[in-house]
Structure 1
Amino acid sequence: MNTDLMINRGIIKYNGNAFEEIDDVIANEYPLTIIVDGDEFATMVCTPDHLDELVIGFLASEGIIRAIEDIAALSINEDRGFAYVELVQKQTMSKDFFSKRFIGSCCGKSRQFYLHNDVKTAKTFMKQIEISVSQCFNLMTKMQEQSTAFQLTGGLHNASLCTKDQVLLSRSDIGRHNALDKIYGYCLKNKLSITDMMIAFSGRISSEVLLKVSKIGVGIVLSKSAPTTLAVNLANDLGITAIGFVRGQSLNVYSHPERIVS
């Protein structure tokens, strides 16, 4: 059992007739503070595995770095819950900049809801790729089969980087956005080409999730759950195909359906 993802704890369970003492598996929750060039940048609550990938992906998503070469040094003190990052070029903008809302001039477009860092880092997907309905079902099944930690704890989100036919990489976390940052960090750390790849996801497609998918640079996101209205608006704007409720033998296509073939 991966104790980074989950921990055994003794609990009291009522089974319908009586109380009993049993061992249960609980999702691991861990605070991690990121220090960039000596200044505290952010504290996140996460699942403490693949922390280097999480930090790299988070910094890229926030627009602090663009490539792994932008990081001069990265060290993590897991006992204290601190990640120390030194950049090749020192960050000049105040961290408050990254949480300020950007109001664009594009009336009626969802892009007016971007934060300033989202304006810098969101990518419009322009490639012509296709996936069949049967491939969508197959990828969702494979992602769920690999989600052992979720099945045991019921408390983790799962994200997978996929080709049309197979799951290449899966990450889990108590935060849906953290699972995506871990995938992004892996891609940057290993300089992985993501041409023609897609994301399979266990949770709701919120606007934050959709923007993370855009920043990673993929054009199709599959989920067994629902999208939100702003996520669908963003997907249409950013050229991303959002597919929800991939369950059994049915699915819903919410944006750019031209990529889905029967």
Structure 2
Amino acid sequence: MLDKVAQRGEGRQRRAPLQAKTVIQRYHEGQWTVIEDSVANEFVLTIEVDRQEFATVVCTPDCLEDFVIGFLASEGVIRQASDVDNLEVSLYRGMAWVHLKEKFQMRPEVYRKRYITSCCGKSRQSFYFFNDAQTAHKIEDSTRLSAGDILNVMAKMDEESFLFKQTGGVHMAFLEIPGQCFIARSDIGRHNALDKVFGYLLRCGLSTIGARMAFSGRISSEVLLKVSKMGVGVVISHSAPTQLALDLARDLNITVIGFVRNSSFNVYTHDWRVQMS
């Protein structure tokens, strides 16, 4: 798969800037000054799958191959990177062309409609996309982590948040696989940042046993489902979870940890993974 991913050569257009400079008026402690500020760039990308327009998304224009692979996996179009026969990205045209090994047929009832269904055989009913119910799965990972581990992974994410420090306008997703590697991805869309991580995992064939996901935004139901599709049992955030996300986390056996700030945090679900002594 890695040798079948390409960018179409377009000279100077091959690398899109992640940020731009703009002149602003700044007010601080009673004084006005004119300064140059950095702002995050938005990039519109249309994804075609087997010559059918599948989606148009607004994203940060880096790691786009990872993003397309992760996005299609999240949507249930593919299960693994090897399902893709060829992928080309054009920054100049704002297009990603995907060709699958098995012909893709767009089915709106699968990719666009919400269904009320039970997930993972549980009695609780929640709103899912049909493809979410097919691809989200219960996490069997029995990893344990300490309070220090939780604080350290968030500190590492903050250290890697280079674009956020420059612009303040992006989200971060940071996956640590102890003893192997970490993956840090940023994007103006919080879901996009997760898809970039997912795509990298699939393209490199990495196992997520023992992994923990750090995230800059709130933990919504959609975020929780993306984490489950990656096979990650722990999600940690600076922000808060939603109730539906917690309902899903209980069903899917995912530990949710929120409000990680300074030296404190809250454990919302499956606290057995956190060492408390």
TM-score bin (small chain): over 0.9
Q: In structure 2, which of residues 227, 230, 246 is the aligned counterpart of residue 232 of structure 1? A: 246
- The reply on whether 1:119 has 2:114 as its aligned counterpart is no
Asked if the contact 1:139/1:167 (under 8 Å) is kept, the reply is: no
Letter in 1 for 2:247: N
Q: In structure 2, which of residues 7, 13, 33 is the aligned counterpart of residue 20 of structure 1? A: 33
Partner of 1:261: helix, strand, or coil?
coil
Offset of residue 19 of structure 1: 4.3
Asked if the contact 1:143/1:167 (under 8 Å) is kept, the reply is: no
Give the equivalent residue in structure 2 for 1:138: 152
- Superimposed CA distance per residue, residues 169-212 of structure 1 (whole angstroms, 9 cap, x where no aligned partner): 10000111000000000001111121111101111001111011
Structure 1 residues 107 and 165: CA distance shift in structure 2, 3 A? closer
Percent of aligned pairs with the same residue?
50
Offset of residue 49 of structure 1: 0.4
- The reply on whether 1:109 has 2:109 as its aligned counterpart is no
- The reply on whether 1:39 has 2:39 as its aligned counterpart is no
TM-score, L = length of structure 2: 0.88
Partners of 2:182 and 2:117 in 1: CA distance: 37
Partner of 1:104: helix, strand, or coil?
strand
Offset of residue 3 of structure 1: 6.6
Asked if the contact 1:220/1:240 (under 8 Å) is kept, the reply is: yes
Structure 1 residues 253 and 164: CA distance shift in structure 2, 3 A? farther
- The reply on whether 1:81 has 2:112 as its aligned counterpart is no
Give the equivalent residue in structure 1 for 2:174: 160
Give the equivalent residue in structure 2 for 1:261: 275
Q: Alignment length, in residue pairs? A: 260
Give the equivalent residue in structure 1 for 2:200: 186
Give the equivalent residue in structure 2 for 1:64: 77
Q: In structure 1, which of residues 210, 222, 245 is the aligned counterpart of residue 224 of structure 2? A: 210
Letter in 2 for 1:159: A
Partners of 1:79 and 1:211 in 2: CA distance: 32
Asked if the contact 1:5/1:173 (under 8 Å) is kept, the reply is: no
Partner of 1:134: helix, strand, or coil?
helix
Offset of residue 92 of structure 1: 2.7
Asked if the contact 1:77/1:83 (under 8 Å) is kept, the reply is: yes
Partners of 1:18 and 1:251 in 2: CA distance: 37
- Superimposed CA distance per residue, residues 88-127 of structure 1 (whole angstroms, 9 cap, x where no aligned partner): 11123414521211222578614x3111010111121012
Q: In structure 2, which of residues 158, 161, 178 is the aligned counterpart of residue 147 of structure 1? A: 161
Q: In structure 2, which of residues 204, 210, 221 is the aligned counterpart of residue 196 of structure 1? A: 210
